């Protein structure tokens, strides 16, 4: 990936300043995007954990049914 470094005008407290930017984004914009991505990743991890728990419950339920069938046919 290539990065283009430029100076761009930004208004801070009503005064225009030149700030350095990479690919059109200054440090504030980059940090905001990183924060948003972090929140999205957290939500995805929470969804992943919930799905893994659901799978474990399903596996446990299926295993207990298999054991019940085994006992029904072979325990006498």
Residue-level pLDDT at 36? 98
As a whole number of angstroms, the distance between CA 58 and CA 61 comes to 5
The torsion of the CA quartet 64, 69, 72, 76, rounded to 10 degrees, works out to -80
**What local confidence, expressed as pLDDT, does residue 27 receive?**
96
pTM over 0.75: no
Query: Among 32, 34, 3, 5, which residue's Cα sits nearest to residue 20?
Result: 5
Successive 10-residue mean pLDDT values, the chain, 76 residues: 95 95 96 98 98 94 79 71
Q: In the chain, where do the E strands start and end?
A: 5-12, 15-22
Q: Where are the domains of the chain?
A: 5-74
């Amino acid at each position: 990936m290539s990065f283009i470094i430029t100076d761009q005008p930004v208004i801070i407290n009503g005064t225009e300043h030149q700030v350095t930017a990479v690919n059109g984004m200054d440090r504030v914009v980059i940090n905001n995007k990183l924060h948003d991505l972090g929140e999205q990743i957290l939500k995805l991890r929470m969804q992943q954990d919930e799905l893994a728990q659901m799978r474990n419950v399903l596996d446990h339920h299926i295993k207990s049914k298999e054991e019940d069938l085994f006992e029904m046919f072979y325990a006498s």
